[in-house]
């Protein structure tokens, strides 16, 4: 019955969580007339919503590192840049002769980015006042280049920068990130970035909302074929013996152990979420981290506990976070 006590404690935390008007951090960016390089650090946003929040903007474009081409959108001509994701660098052209103060969400995206070979236009998620030399040294890659917009010699949070790398790399812009990601070859750069961003956001959400700290150093596994993951990606992981392949079309999108989460990317496409991976991973990690907290609080396996109780708590947490997100967006949104 210890799980019942743990469940009651979690539900009391839920009831005592901060009010539905969850605090949203904001960032003020001064945009000058003409071209402005900006790092996007909010939740995913559609280009149309950006233009509505920033009516002085005439054009927004970004560089697609995978396709090796620019993508754009404007208020009067819908281009091929439909959505702006956390960690992207964008270029905004402002009309008129006056500067604009733009108040936008600051959700502190994951400071780990997966970069394509060649040029990448990305957001800087590290500390303020970092020199280009210091930023480049954190890449730990001699052949990589970092280019900032004209006149920028030190990087501040939410700046946009160009990075040129000879091969695909993982760039951790801040030391001490409490997780690792292992993905089979079919996982795209966009899915890996979305996975890390939403996992760190879920860790922070449990910390801020319930004062619950994930103590384990997490490993995230992304796969399309479970057998491939077990054969190639997991041989050195301590929990290898605990994992089972449940079949290509099993109903589970993910499962968790005491210090890991395995995500079936097939569910991302099966459930029609391939065009919005952040929504998919946000729900997955909110749910699975609830299980990791159950492991942490119980200090034993969950397999012998009532499934309705184990899953009920995790589902409740996911639904609660969705409701908070809907209310926060409707009350605040992206402001000018």
Backbone CA torsion sign across 106, 277, 161, 174: positive
pLDDT per residue as tens digits for the range 117-166: 999 999 998 888 988 888 888 777 777 889 999 889 899 999 999 999 99
Angle at which helices 189-210 and 2-15 pack, to 10 degrees?
90
Question: Residues of CATH 3.40.390 domain(s) within the chain?
Answer: 178-329
Please give the model's pTM, rounded to 2 decimal places.
Answer: 0.70
Distances (CA, A) of 324 to 20, 23, 25, 152: 6, 10, 15, 38
Tokens of 83: 């959505």
The residues that bridge with 146 in the sheet, in sequence order, are 163
**Domain 178-329, what fold?**
Collagenase (Catalytic Domain) (3.40.390)
CA-CA distance, 73 to 69, in Å (whole number)?
Answer: 14
pLDDT at 84: 93
Distances (CA, A) of 214 to 111, 207, 237, 259: 18, 8, 19, 9
CA-CA distance, 291 to 304, in Å (whole number)?
Answer: 14
332 has a pLDDT exceeding 70: no
Classify 28 as helix, strand or coil.
Answer: strand
CA-CA distance, 93 to 31, in Å (whole number)?
Answer: 9
Contact assessment for residue 155 and residue 135, using Cβ atoms and an 8 Å cutoff: yes
Q: What's the average model confidence in pLDDT over 250-255?
A: 66
> Which has more pLDDT, 144 or 31?
31
């Amino acid at each position: 019955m210890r799980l019942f006590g743990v469940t009651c404690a979690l539900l009391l935390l839920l009831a005592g969580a901060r009010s539905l008007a969850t605090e949203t951090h904001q960032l003020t960016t001064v945009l000058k007339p003409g071209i402005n390089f900006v790092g996007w650090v909010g939740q995913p946003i559609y280009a149309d919503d950006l233009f509505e929040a920033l009516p002085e903007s005439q054009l927004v474009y970004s560089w697609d590192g995978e396709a090796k081409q620019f993508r754009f959108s404007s208020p009067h001509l819908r281009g091929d840049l439909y959505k702006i994701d956390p960690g992207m660098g964008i270029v905004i052209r402002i009309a008129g002769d006056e500067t604009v103060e733009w108040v936008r969400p600051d959700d502190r995206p994951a400071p780990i980015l997966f970069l394509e070979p060649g040029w990448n236009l990305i957001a800087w998620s590290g500390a303020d006042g970092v020199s280009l030399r210091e930023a480049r040294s954190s890449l730990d890659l001699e052949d990589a280049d970092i280019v900032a917009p004209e006149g920028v010699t030190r990087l501040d949070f939410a700046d946009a920068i160009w990075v040129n790398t000879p091969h695909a790399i993982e760039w951790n812009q801040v030391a001490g990130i409490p997780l690792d990601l292992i993905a089979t070859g079919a996982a795209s750069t966009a899915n890996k970035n979305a996975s890390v961003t939403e996992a760190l956001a879920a860790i922070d959400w449990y910390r801020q909302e319930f004062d619950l700290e994930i103590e384990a150093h997490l490993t995230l596994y992304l796969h399309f074929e479970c057998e491939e993951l077990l054969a190639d990606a997991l041989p050195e992981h301590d929990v290898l013996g605990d994992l089972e392949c449940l079949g290509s079309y099993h109903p589970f999108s993910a499962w968790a152990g005491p210090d890991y989460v395995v995500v079936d990317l097939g569910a991302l496409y099966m459930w029609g979420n391939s065009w919005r991976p952040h929504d998919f991973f946000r729900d997955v990690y909110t749910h699975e981290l609830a299980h990791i907290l159950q492991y942490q609080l119980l200090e034993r396996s969950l397999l012998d506990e009532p499934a309705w109780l184990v899953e009920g708590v995790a589902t409740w947490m996911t639904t609660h976070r969705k409701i908070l997100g809907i209310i926060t967006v409707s009350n605040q949104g992206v402001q000018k």
